[in-house]
Structure 1
Amino acid sequence: MAEVQLLGVRGSPFVQRVQYALRLKGIEYSFIEDNLRNKSELLLKYNPIHKKVPVFVHNGKPLSESLVIIEYIDETWGNYHIFPQHGYEKALARFWSKFIDDKILPPIFKAAWTVNKEEREKNTEEALQGLQFLENELKNKFFGGENIGIVDIAASYLAFWLPAVEEAVGLKLLSDDKFPKLLKWSQEFINQPIVKEILPSREGLLGFFKSRYAAISASAK
């Protein structure tokens, strides 16, 4: 068995978080594609609680949840620091990463995948409030300074997947007038070689999102 394995689904923003960390560290790993509609025995064995990807396996020991995995990777392998090295800055990076997962992504998902006008408006407003906090926090090229760090990785959904979702479902969150720093950051992020080389096809992603929204709309009638 390979020393490092990653169980995942290609194109998943949460799986790709872990891939960014592995690439930043220069870690060789084997990627094991799973099918979430017919979950493998390996996935159920390694992640029996959540039964979802990503699952990271190092020397036979599994870990799940992308941010947990990345922190383990950062503490286990040297040569590139994904988390800040000082206590206060490291705690802040943890805070903002969790803020993205708890306060920004959930209302975005809810706003995108509903056809109920009131529900969409409510969650859009909540998402905009969260994005404004993140906009205010961005003070350099990346959240991690001049190099990609954990908050950039946590926010990666906003850089690539969100614009495709916006186009597919008729939602607008990241506008030039409200979030100029986040838009500039998103372009910097997706054009980094370690990111660009493993991003899924935008056309394929857009088609998938359009089909999903059409199915939701049809079921709501």
Structure 2
Amino acid sequence: MRFTTVRNATWRHANIVLLGDAAHTAHYSIGSGTKLAMEDALALAASLEQPGDLAAALDHYERTRKPVVESTQRAAQASLEWFESIDHAIGTEPAQFAFNLLTRSRRVTHDNLRLRDGAYIASLDRWFDRRQPGAAAVPAPPLFQPYTLGGLRLRNRIVAAPVALYRAQDGMPGDIDLIHLGAKALGGAGLVLADMTAVSETGRVTRFQPSLAGVTSVSRRTGWASS
């Protein structure tokens, strides 16, 4: 929690160049500090071999390395936050805890682990499948297992996030909304979330936002029903 993440607007000044932790840091929980420093040195050496003057070489070095470092810092931040809020994982079964630990940075996924250790993921899928009602003969990955949400049973655990289209007319969603939501549903998501809907016409962010009042009014006039 006391770890300082170092970021610099620039890594160079005249003929002075920053490498490794002097230029940037990533939380030690992902163990990338030495790797980043070595990669910086290799990138700097390669940039200095490019045609052009010193300023151009150092600019190339910084432009090449910064996106990579920033991506690693994002992963390190996710790992840091996982450990700071580890209470959410304490008490889970060992198999679940281990998987959460391995994927905490969000850069390692179920498929990444399958490439690294297929036997481990196969055993993990079997472990997860045995805990689901009506276990399949061939276990499906957890993402594609059914999920019960209240009285609703979803066929998988993929949720399509809401997107605000602002194309409603008089508070009523139209064909564009239907096409958008239909495409999400046909794409295989177990749950599709519609965009934000105001409880009244006066509560809308814009006049093109759906509202419950608009939907109710149109339903009464046309007999259109929704669920």
TM-score, length of structure 2 as denominator length: 0.25
- More relative contact order in 1 or in 2 (CA 8 Å, sep 6+)? 1
Task: Answer with 1 or 2: which has the greater Rg.
Answer: 2
